[in-house]
Amino acid sequence: MGTTIFVAAGGSRLTVIVGRSTRRYWPRYICRLETGIVSNFKRIVMESFIETIKVLNGQFCNLDAHERRAKATAKAFFGKSLAWEVGGMVVPTEMCSGVVKCRVVYDSEVREVCFQPYVMRRIGSLRLVNGDGVDYRYKSTNRSVLARLLEQRGACDDVLIVRDGWITDTSFTNVVFEDAGGGLYTPDTCLLEGTRRQSLLDVGRIQARPIRVEDIGHFQRVLLVNAMIGLEDAIRVPVVNIMK
């Protein structure tokens, strides 16, 4: 397993941890134990959120969009502005080559920053699953609702979540449908307004429109995009590989 570099913010210190573990929560516990501040343990029950940022050859990508979303989320949940200093961080030397995933965990403050080499998933098929009632408008670290839906994928590689008959997202990406003429359309009913999706909308490379399950056959393929995956390197799945 490749090296992961954790930068855990706690108390008045910033702790850099280099290791091979990718367990989700141990860096945060290390941070709390090192600070010695008992009150920090109350954060365990505080809802936390995540921003996943692409780092290309040592440079943060689309950082302003991530900052805006994180600050809006902190304001909505905690009623205060988030002190966001990620852009001022120096990317660790070991992580300055190629594509790296920067994972920022925060609640009312930034609690953890982690850098890890990025490995693209291989997705060749999707299964339609019922996500009625699912609400993931904020990028929470609690992905249990998405994990339960993913368990329904069967022999497919991932799921395409349907809410009240409308196409939304996969378990880890927004989606863009491509028609025979090269038109690119993203559902306007997405679960999460991803930063990559929004940047593509802003520059007019894709258009938002309602897409129902019965509309899928009008397209050639579906492209999976997120902060780490742009249109040029999107995961492409033929619509014939979308299973009911």
Tell me: do 48 and 152 sit in the same domain.
Answer: no
Tell me: do 141 and 233 sit in the same domain.
Answer: yes
Q: Tell me the pLDDT tens digit for each residue of 39-79.
A: 443 444 579 999 999 999 999 999 999 999 999 999 999 99
Tell me: do 26 and 55 sit in the same domain.
Answer: yes
Tell me: do 238 and 152 sit in the same domain.
Answer: yes
Q: Tell me the pLDDT tens digit for each residue of 170-197.
A: 999 999 999 999 999 999 999 999 999 9
Answer with the one of 82, 117, 152 that is the final residue of a domain. 117
CA distances 173 to 52, 161, 186, Å, are: 12, 11, 11
Answer with the one of 117, 136, 158 that is the final residue of a domain. 117
Return the pLDDT at 133: 96
Tell me: do 100 and 158 sit in the same domain.
Answer: no
CATH number of the domain at 79, please.
3.30.470
Q: How far apart are CA 219 and CA 142, in angstroms?
A: 33
Answer with the one of 96, 117, 138 that is the final residue of a domain. 117
**Rounded to 10 degrees, what is the CA torsion of 57, 59, 60, 61?**
-70
What's the predicted TM-score (pTM) here?
0.83
Tell me: do 112 and 130 sit in the same domain.
Answer: no
Tell me: do 96 and 134 sit in the same domain.
Answer: no
CATH number of the domain at 191, please.
3.20.10.10
**Number of domains present in the structure of the chain:** 2
Tell me: do 8 and 108 sit in the same domain.
Answer: yes
Domain that residue 73 falls in: 4-117
Element (H, E) at 196: helix 195-202
Tell me: do 109 and 131 sit in the same domain.
Answer: no
Span 13-31, average pLDDT: 37
Tell me: do 206 and 136 sit in the same domain.
Answer: yes
Tell me: do 78 and 140 sit in the same domain.
Answer: no
Tell me: do 134 and 102 sit in the same domain.
Answer: no
DSSP state letter for 119: -
Q: How far apart are CA 66 and CA 96, in angstroms?
A: 20
Span 191-211, average pLDDT: 98
